[in-house]
């Protein structure tokens, strides 16, 4: 399953980051993203309180129960090994964190799932990969820029990286050209306002725009 998930992530080039969306809206949102050509969805943990954590897990479970293997579902902002276990039990196939935490990475791999920790520096990137990360999330990509990612990839050609943070339709292809295997996109794609108002067709249209931009060479 791990290899299949990695193949999905590499082929799709984009992970939709779902943040601040209630679990009751998850199925409609996931279907809208899938219609737009984005099957990889990261539901981020709301770390503000226990109810937020529980609702994150309900959201993952809802997408898995409704769409099954049609989407590749992961958990984001995973901060502890316990949250890794909770996310996997809910149906997450990959675990994404904003930082490099060896315990989180090793627990993810112990459970046979894909590990995508967040890093910024060369030291963090190398250490994450050494700990077992499958892909390293370079964050914040919008601040670092594509030139930074290109420079970092020079000594780290063997480490797959994604670009996350202020990735737009206009700049997403630049990160692929710089050497990233894909991008993660949050609010620029998954707008809480559009979700709340049920304007899922607009989210589908935005998803299609990102897919078209990322497959410019295809």
Count of structural domains within the chain: 1
d(CA 29, CA 200): 7
Lowest mean pLDDT among 46-50, 63-67, 107-111, 150-154: 46-50
24-72 residue pLDDT tens: 999 999 999 999 999 999 999 999 889 999 999 999 999 999 999 899 9
Domain that residue 186 falls in: 2-214
CATH number at residue 184: 3.20.20.70
Catalytic (active-site) positions: 42, 137
Ranges assigned E (strand) in the chain: 14-18, 40-44, 72-76, 94-96, 114-116, 118-119, 136-138, 161-164, 182-185
Is it the case that residue 197 has pLDDT exceeding 70? yes
pLDDT of residue 70: 92
Q: At 200, give phi and psi (nearest 5°).
A: -70, -25
Is it the case that residue 112 has pLDDT exceeding 80? yes
pLDDT of residue 209: 98
pLDDT of residue 49: 87
d(CA 214, CA 218): 9
Mean pLDDT of the chain: 95
Cβ distance 27 to 195 under 8 Å?
Answer: no
Q: Stretch 198-202: mean pLDDT, rounded?
A: 96
Cβ distance 104 to 72 under 8 Å?
Answer: no
Per-residue pLDDT band for 163 (boundaries 50, 70, 90) equals very high
pLDDT of residue 1: 44
Q: Stretch 130-147: mean pLDDT, rounded?
A: 96
**What are the strands of the beta sheet with 118-119, ordered from one edge?**
114-116, 94-96, 72-76, 40-44, 14-18, 182-185, 161-164, 136-138, 118-119
Cβ distance 173 to 153 under 8 Å?
Answer: no
- Map residue 116 onto helix, strand or coil: strand
pLDDT of residue 2: 54
């Amino acid at each position: 399953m791990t290899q299949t998930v990695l193949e999905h992530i590499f082929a799709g080039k984009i992970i939709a980051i779902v943040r601040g969306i209630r679990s009751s809206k998850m199925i409609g949102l996931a279907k809208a993203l899938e219609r737009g050509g984005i099957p990889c969805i990261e539901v981020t943990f709301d770390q503000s309180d226990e109810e937020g954590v529980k609702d994150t897990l309900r959201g993952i479970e809802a997408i898995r129960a409704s769409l099954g293997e049609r989407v590749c579902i992961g958990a984001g902002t995973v901060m502890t090994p316990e949250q890794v276990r909770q996310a996997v039990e809910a149906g997450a196939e990959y675990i994404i964190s904003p930082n490099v935490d060896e315990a989180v990475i090793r627990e993810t791999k112990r459970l046979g799932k894909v590990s995508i920790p967040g890093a910024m520096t060369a030291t963090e990137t190398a250490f994450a990969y050494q700990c077992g990360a499958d892909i390293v999330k370079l964050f914040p990509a919008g601040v670092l820029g594509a030139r930074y990612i290109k420079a970092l990839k020079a000594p780290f050609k063997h480490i797959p990286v994604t670009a996350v943070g202020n990735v737009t339709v206009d700049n997403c292809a630049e990160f692929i050209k710089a050497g990233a295997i894909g991008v993660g996109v949050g609010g620029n794609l998954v707008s809480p306002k559009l979700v709340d108002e049920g304007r899922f067709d607009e989210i589908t249209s935005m998803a299609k725009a990102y897919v078209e931009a990322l497959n410019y060479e295809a």
